């Protein structure tokens, strides 16, 4: 099973960022079929026999139900609080920083919950399956590296223009038409952004190398469980000091950007944003009610 990819897929489907990024009915549909999507994703990395597929399906179903019943109410609570703070003007640097910390905690909850499932399922892979998994993970990482290298060859102005367009499109979905001041904020944010892709790819390679070493050594090794736990619940240990510093700079820049953007909102944009948040609160409540009944 492609556990690194599995983690990423769960995060995309389950995190509040995803809940806020997909529109209405499609959000509900995506979440309801998240377990199936994860199983399809795993199929791209390793061929399982029927018994393994059945065990995987059962574990993913359990993980999906846990997330819906335990984690989604946390998302709703935090979104409701953020919505109220937006409505009452209680947004400052401390509040924006708290939102970032809450998102990371939600992700960490998933990491903690995925680990025991991986500890159960990974040792059941044959030597051939382990090698197939590692080969496919490496190929995907190589493809990502090649894609980055190709994009790096684009003229800087062209690359930044694409990034500005992408960010403006996302913001317009939440705020409506952007003012010239807000477009300038976006342009400044993109131009000031420090790229960490090279450092991030190196970190991903270190993670994969350590994962390969752990998997190939076998679950019989006395430190297998601890090594796997660290890889899945504390992967940041493998980041370089330079990457950590760059990520911190990026975080502070994004906090400042979103705070400036919030302060620039017109009343019409504020109401647009609140209405959008209300829509997703309803969506979350519908999903919570549906899964609590199971």
pLDDT in tens, 254-281: 999 999 999 999 999 999 999 999 999 9
- The pLDDT tens digits of the residues spanning 109-137 come to 988 998 999 999 999 999 999 999 999 99
The whole-number pLDDT of residue 14 equals 36
pLDDT at residue 81 greater than cutoff 90:
yes
At 166-191, the pLDDT tens digits run 999 999 999 999 999 999 999 999 99
User: Which of 22-26, 28-32, 100-104, 271-275 is least confident?
Assistant: 22-26
Q: Which of 3, 210, 214 is nearest to 121 (CA)?
A: 3
What's the pLDDT band for 35 if we cut at 50, 70, 90?
Answer: low
Among candidate residues 40, 38, 110, the one with its CA nearest the CA of residue 72: 110
Look up tokens 């400052």; give the residue: 92
Average pLDDT over residues 153-165: 91
pLDDT of residue 100: 87
pLDDT of residue 153: 87
pLDDT band at 195 (very low <50, low <70, confident <90, very high): confident
Task: Flag whether pLDDT at 13 surpasses 60.
Answer: no
Query: What pLDDT, in 10s, does the model give residues 215-239?
Result: 999 889 999 999 999 999 999 999 9
Residues 40 and 1 sit within 8 Å (Cβ to Cβ): no
Report DSSP state, residue 68.
I
pLDDT, averaged across the chain? 86
pLDDT over 80 at 9, yes or no: no
Over residues 35-43, mean pLDDT: 71
pLDDT of residue 151: 87
Among the listed residues 8, 93, 109, 24, the one whose alpha carbon sits nearest the alpha carbon of residue 280:
24
Go through 165-174 and write b for each residue having 16 or more CB atoms within 10 A of its CB, e for each that does not: eebbeebeee
What per-residue confidence (pLDDT) applies to 228? 94
Q: Is 80 exceeded by the pLDDT of residue 6?
A: no
The answer to whether residue 1 scores a pLDDT higher than 80 is: no
**Does residue 208 register a pLDDT over 90?**
yes
Phi, psi of 153 (to 5 degrees): -80, -10
Instruction: Tell me which residue of 99, 96, 81, 100 sits closest to 258, measured CA to CA.
Output: 96
**Pure H helices in 122-179:** 127-152, 156-175
Percent of the chain beyond pLDDT 70? 86
Cα 291 to Cα 35: distance, rounded to the nearest angstrom? 13
- pLDDT for residue 289: 93
pLDDT value at residue 245: 95
CA distance 227 to 213: 10
């Amino acid at each position: 099973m492609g556990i690194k990819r599995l983690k990423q897929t769960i995060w995309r489907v389950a995190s509040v960022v995803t809940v806020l990024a997909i529109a209405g009915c499609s959000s509900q549909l995506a979440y309801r079929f998240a377990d199936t999507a994860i199983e399809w994703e795993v199929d791209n990395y390793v061929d399982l026999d029927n018994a393994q597929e059945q065990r995987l399906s059962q574990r993913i179903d359990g993980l999906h139900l846990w997330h819906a019943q335990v984690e989604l109410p946390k998302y709703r609570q935090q979104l409701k609080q953020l919505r109220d703070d937006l409505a009452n003007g209680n947004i400052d640097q401390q509040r924006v920083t708290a939102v970032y910390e809450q998102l990371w905690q939600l992700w960490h909850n998933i990491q903690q919950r995925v680990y025991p499932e991986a500890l159960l399922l990974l040792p059941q892979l044959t030597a051939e399956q382990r090698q197939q998994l590692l080969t496919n993970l490496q190929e995907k990482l190589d493809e990502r590296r090649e894609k980055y290298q190709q994009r790096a060859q684009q003229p800087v102005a062209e690359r930044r223009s694409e990034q500005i367009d992408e960010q403006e499109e996302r913001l317009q979905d939440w705020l409506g038409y952007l003012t010239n001041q807000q477009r300038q904020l976006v342009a400044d944010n993109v131009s000031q952004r420090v790229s960490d892709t090279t450092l991030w790819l190196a970190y991903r390679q270190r993670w994969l190398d350590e994962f390969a070493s752990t998997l190939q050594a076998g679950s019989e090794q006395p430190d297998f469980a601890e090594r796997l736990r660290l890889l899945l619940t504390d992967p940041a240990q493998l980041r370089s000091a330079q990457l950590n510093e760059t990520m911190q700079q990026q975080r502070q820049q994004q906090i400042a950007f979103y705070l400036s953007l919030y302060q620039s909102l017109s009343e019409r944009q504020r109401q647009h944003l609140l209405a959008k948040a209300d829509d997703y609160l309803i969506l979350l409540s519908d999903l919570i009610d549906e899964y609590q009944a199971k």
